[in-house]
Amino acid sequence: MLQEVFNIDLIKIHWLENFDDPDDRCAHGKVRVKIGDEIVADNTDDITDWWTLSAMALHLLRTLESDHLENAPVAQCLIPGEGHHIGHKENDFAVHIETAYPMVKGCNWWVTHLGNIITLKTENGLSISISFETYKNEIIAFVDKVENFYKRSSPKNLPEDKYDREGYLKFWNEWHTRRNKWN
């Protein structure tokens, strides 16, 4: 029997300096993630702790098609405390969001696909299985909330540096390509 408990609660989303700066391209905020009976992520009590929700959303989109394993992760961590640089290679579809995890706060859990079943394993060792549909719906709902925040905000300025500009554009290309598979 599947244990259908996987929740992502978006508590607050904002730009880093709490105003809509067209040069701030990373959505930050507070989330609470529950897997089974365990709260695996909750930064709501620390007013100085703002996680990078745009990076989190992209990382979670990747887990809809790929396992996220300790020895083969889709990213350094699923919820980075910060995402300070978008690395990329010319012919790679996926970008690499550089974080300071585990030195800077962030959260991780492991994701394994087996047919239509997703197994989630926390860093504390709790393991649950849920349907792919349940997992996908929770991820897509979160991703859409983050993207809607961008849509409600002022347009973002592209970075002046060519490499950074290409990375930012590749980030959104990867996001939209992955997200649009689940319309």
The whole-number average pLDDT for the span 84-91 is: 80
Q: How confident is the model at residue 24 (pLDDT cuts 50, 70, 90)?
A: confident
Ordered by start, the domain boundaries in the chain are 6-180
By the 8 A CB rule, do 47 and 29 touch? no
Closest CA relative to residue 65, chosen from 183, 176, 181 = 181
Record the tokens describing residue 103, joined without a space: 């030195």
- Please tell me which residue, 82 or 118, carries the higher pLDDT value: 118
Burial of 5 (0-12, 13-18, 19+ CB in 10 A): middle
pLDDT tens per residue, range 105-120: 678 999 999 999 999 9
Length of the chain: 183
- The predicted model scores a pTM of 0.93
pLDDT tens per residue, range 48-64: 778 889 999 999 999 99
- Please tell me which residue, 95 or 104, carries the higher pLDDT value: 95
Predicted local distance difference test score (pLDDT) of residue 57:
97
By the 8 A CB rule, do 135 and 6 touch? yes
